[in-house]
Amino acid sequence: MVGFVSFVGSGPGDPDLLTLKAVNRLKTADVVLFDDLSSGPILDYVSSSADLLGVGKRAGRASPKQDHVSQLLVDYASENVKVVRLKSGDPAIFGRLEEELTALRAHKIPFEIIPGVTAGSAAAAAANIPLTRRLAARRVQFFTGHDIAGTLPEDLNIKALCDPTCTSVIYMPKRTFPKLAQLLISHGLDPNTPALLAESVSLSTQELKHGTLASLAQDLTNEITTAPGVILLGPLSDTPQL
């Protein structure tokens, strides 16, 4: 017999944004493997008898290797227990979900995926703006600002990223945003395109910085904090123009 793995999205950090199903799985789990951004008060829902293992990955810090995390899931589930893999945001959006699903499927271990509030949606909500706007923003695109080496991906679809009628949400963006902004501007995107940097979304330390493509790139050239953040770029309603 084997156990069962629940991939649970913890949202951006505020426990009030957890789904009811997520809370239920946390309460009944025997083992919880959690990301750094899924710790704190969210873990208060976990039973005191459950095992807790931190397996989060943060840029610039020593982190467990992905194959090690995947093997932990297999090992625990093979002991016929209920395992929760608690991922920040939504498990399916830049959450390294595919590698872990592949490991479970290889060992015929059953699983489920419980979605969570992704940081892009939470950032828009925190700033009181929509991600789509009738006529002005008909499309939304999520993409990552760095590749496996921590640099700007070389295979970005620049034409799509320069679409002025699209809202772009950039994950893990801060270190590479100045280079990205230079690239976008050189391909025709207006330097005055509204931009929003949202850090520590939904937490007491939340910071929202409104600006433009050019001004935010300059700010991030001068200073980068360690707080997790996303950048929204495009026709953002009610965003002050600098």
> Are the C-beta atoms of residues 217 and 197 closer than 8 Å to each other?
no
Catalytic residue among 14, 35, 87, 174: 35
Nearest to 171 by CA among 230, 121, 118: 230
Catalytic residue among 57, 82, 179, 209: 57
| Residue 51 β-bridge partners | 31
Report the C-alpha gap between 11 and 83 in whole angstroms.
18
Structure tokens at 113: 């995926």
Nearest to 237 by CA among 146, 155, 134: 134
Residue 64 exposed, middle or buried by CB count within 10 Å (0-12, 13-18, 19+): middle
Q: What is the C-alpha end-to-end distance of the chain, expressed in Å?
A: 61
Active site residue 57: yes
Phi-psi region for residue 238, left (φ > 0), alpha (ψ -120 to 50) or beta?
Answer: left
Report the C-alpha gap between 26 and 209 in whole angstroms.
34
Its sign, for the CA torsion 227, 230, 231, 232, is negative
Q: Are strands 229-233 and 166-171 parallel, antiparallel or unpaired?
A: antiparallel
Active site residue 163: no
Residue positions annotated with a catalytic role? 35, 57
